[in-house]
Chains A and B, each alone.
Chain A
Amino acid sequence: MAELLLRPFAAIGNLTLAGLESMGRAWRLFASAAVSIRNTDVWMPLLLPQMARVGVASVPIALFIATFTGIVMALQASYSLTGTIPSYFVGTLVGKTMILELGPVLTGLVLAGRVGANISAELGTMRVTEQVDALETLAYDPLAYLVVPRLLAGIVMFPVVVLLAISIGIAAGWFTALQLLEMSSAEFVKGLRIYYAPWDVWFAVIKSLSFGAVVTGTGCYCGLQTEGGAEGVGRSATRAVVAACMIILCLDAFWAAVLL
């Protein structure tokens, strides 16, 4: 009986310890990766391909999402802003939400699926087929060779992709306002500008930068932790996506609390 009562607590305790342990391992990985940055000769040649993979290849999906987000934002804004509120608030709403929230976060979440899973599966396969070990025996630092270029590519390219997504999202909202909401361009722009603060864009950049580190970082971490063949690779890809999404949302709240 007592055993039965204690079991949930033991489970929670186990879970907590496991969580803390993997957090500690992740931090150790990133600390070592930070040290490995000095091996510039190893990661420098790999940075460009990774930037192409993390950034350039993500542009279409990010722009696709942003376009529809912009359209939906404009339509919903005009739907909820009825009566006394002037229609140019559609522009305000589209601009503010795209820049502050939806641009960085939606892009981050989508790229967590695209980039994070991709990295995790790739490194996971390399881990279970001993390619990571092979790198080490060939005198390569696997962190410098695998983790650093991906992490840096994420940090550099995410803000770029997000800025593009924001621009396209606002443009899509604008177009919608003109075509479907019978607003004038001047009205929409007035709404865009009326509450705009330069800090907003910095906020978006800081956010997307951290999301880039989170997505590529969890991808690398989960990938390198992979155990147990093809099934393990699939599992760690899933884990990378889930973890990255959760961390992105927590971080989003954190930045909002700290920076706004």
Chain B
Amino acid sequence: MSIRLREVHKAFGPKEVLRGFTLEVRDGETLAIVGPSGSGKSVLLKHVAGLLRPDSGSIFVDTHSVPDLSRKELTRLRRRIGYVFQFAALFDSMTVTENVGMGLRRMPEWDARRIAARVEECLALVDLHGLGDRYPAQLSGGQRKRAGLARAIAPSPKFLLYDEPTTGLDPVTTTVIDRLILRMSDEMGVTGLVVTHDMTSAYRVADRITLLHDGRARFTGAPDEVQAAGDEVLRGFVEGDPDLYFGRNNDGT
């Protein structure tokens, strides 16, 4: 029940986004990947879900080598992976209820009654009960994000990939979501991969934290290790100090 990436390379044209990224997420663990915008965090997550293919390197989810799976096998694997998109990616043409039920409708053993019950349950989990009949366009950004989260957890996946689940949310909602992430891992034994650049959130939910820098995993360690680490780039990112992060001298060159 683990996620393993080895030496993953990915370039878009001349732009090398991942340059030998190696990481292991252990079974039942929640790992946070931090890094500035544009560092390739979303790209990394998409590789795990098989939405992008690496130029080289290996990606294993459980025992499955994701890039080598056939369409059918990939589909089967995806039923066990929940993906929370950065901008929710709700289907515009469907109500919130229909959105949340989408994944469940692919499961042959689920009938309409059971789906409806589960959707209600998930909406309650993310504090959205009563908004099920709305369309995504009628929701606020935070509500959308929570609806996206509800959609991802509805089929009770074994793996959850969160792409900046708390970015842009108010502190209260952030706490709600963080608790939900913790709950998924504690109660359901979900293996989680949380992409974020919100350090508070990362400290709260993660068993370990990895800094994605320059296409590689620069540092990996438990939250207290991160706080104690001497690595300049990591300290630069955590403290929000561009001079340290970009490795500039004090005179700015």
Residues of A at under 8 Å CB distance from B? 125-126, 129-131, 133-141
Interface centre among A125, A130, A136, A141 (most CB of B within 10 A): A130
Chain A residues lying within 8 Å of B103, measured Cβ to Cβ, are 138-139
Q: Size band of the B side of the interface? A: 20 to 34
Chain A residues lying within 8 Å of B46, measured Cβ to Cβ, are 133
Quick check: B151 and A138 within 8 Å, CB to CB?
yes
Chain A residues lying within 8 Å of B151, measured Cβ to Cβ, are 134, 138
* Closest-CB distance, B99 to chain A (whole angstroms): 9
Chain A residues lying within 8 Å of B102, measured Cβ to Cβ, are 138, 140
With A125-B92, A133-B46 known as contacts, the answer to whether A139 contacts B78 (CB < 8 A) is yes
Chain A residues lying within 8 Å of B78, measured Cβ to Cβ, are 136-139
From A130, which residue of chain B is reached at the shortest CB distance? B89
Quick check: B92 and A140 within 8 Å, CB to CB?
no
Chain A residues lying within 8 Å of B202, measured Cβ to Cβ, are none
| Bound Cα distance from A137 to B102, whole angstroms | 11
Known: A133-B49, A133-B51, A136-B49; 6 extra A-B contacts, CB below 8 A, are A133-B83, A134-B91, A136-B78, A137-B81, A138-B151, A139-B75
* Closest-CB distance, B176 to chain A (whole angstroms): 22
| Bound Cα distance from A90 to B51, whole angstroms | 59
* Closest-CB distance, B194 to chain A (whole angstroms): 16
Quick check: A140 and B106 within 8 Å, CB to CB?
yes
Q: For the complex, is B218 an interface residue (Cβ under 8 Å from A)?
A: no
* Closest-CB distance, B71 to chain A (whole angstroms): 7
- For the complex of A and B, list the 7 residue pairs with the smallest distance between their C-beta atoms, beginning with the closest: A137-B83, A130-B89, A134-B89, A138-B103, A139-B78, A139-B106, A139-B79
Quick check: B87 and A129 within 8 Å, CB to CB?
yes
Quick check: B51 and A131 within 8 Å, CB to CB?
no
Chain B residues lying within 8 Å of A139, measured Cβ to Cβ, are 75-76, 78-79, 103, 106
Chain B residues lying within 8 Å of A138, measured Cβ to Cβ, are 78, 102-103, 106, 151, 155
From A45, which residue of chain B is reached at the shortest CB distance? B105
From A138, which residue of chain B is reached at the shortest CB distance? B103
Chain A residues lying within 8 Å of B51, measured Cβ to Cβ, are 133, 136-137
Quick check: B89 and A129 within 8 Å, CB to CB?
yes
Q: Give the contacts of B33-55 with A (CB-CB under 8 A).
A: 46, 49-51
Interface centre among A133, A134, A135, A136 (most CB of B within 10 A): A134
With A137-B78, A137-B81, A139-B106 known as contacts, the answer to whether A131 contacts B89 (CB < 8 A) is yes
Partner of B85, one of A126, A133, A141: A133
From B83, which residue of chain A is reached at the shortest CB distance? A137
Residues 117-157 of B, flagged 1 when their CB comes within 8 A of A and 0 if not, give 00000000000000000000000000000000001100100
Q: Can you name 13 A-B residue pairings with CB atoms under 8 Å?
A: A126-B91, A129-B89, A130-B89, A133-B46, A134-B83, A134-B151, A136-B51, A137-B152, A138-B102, A138-B155, A139-B75, A141-B71, A141-B75
From A129, which residue of chain B is reached at the shortest CB distance? B89
Residues 45-74 of B, flagged 1 when their CB comes within 8 A of A and 0 if not, give 010011100000000000000000001000
| Bound Cα distance from A130 to B43, whole angstroms | 12
Chain A residues lying within 8 Å of B155, measured Cβ to Cβ, are 138
* Closest-CB distance, B62 to chain A (whole angstroms): 16
| Bound Cα distance from A129 to B50, whole angstroms | 18
From A32, which residue of chain B is reached at the shortest CB distance? B71
| Bound Cα distance from A131 to B50, whole angstroms | 15
| Bound Cα distance from A130 to B90, whole angstroms | 9
Chain B residues lying within 8 Å of A141, measured Cβ to Cβ, are 71, 75
* Closest-CB distance, B69 to chain A (whole angstroms): 12
Chain B residues lying within 8 Å of A125, measured Cβ to Cβ, are 92
| Bound Cα distance from A134 to B49, whole angstroms | 10
| Bound Cα distance from A134 to B106, whole angstroms | 14
| Bound Cα distance from A138 to B78, whole angstroms | 7
With A125-B92, A139-B103 known as contacts, the answer to whether A134 contacts B85 (CB < 8 A) is yes
Residues 87-116 of B, flagged 1 when their CB comes within 8 A of A and 0 if not, give 101111000000000110010000000000
* Closest-CB distance, B121 to chain A (whole angstroms): 18
| Bound Cα distance from A133 to B74, whole angstroms | 13
From B107, which residue of chain A is reached at the shortest CB distance? A139
* Closest-CB distance, B29 to chain A (whole angstroms): 21
Chain B residues lying within 8 Å of A137, measured Cβ to Cβ, are 49, 51, 78, 81-83, 152
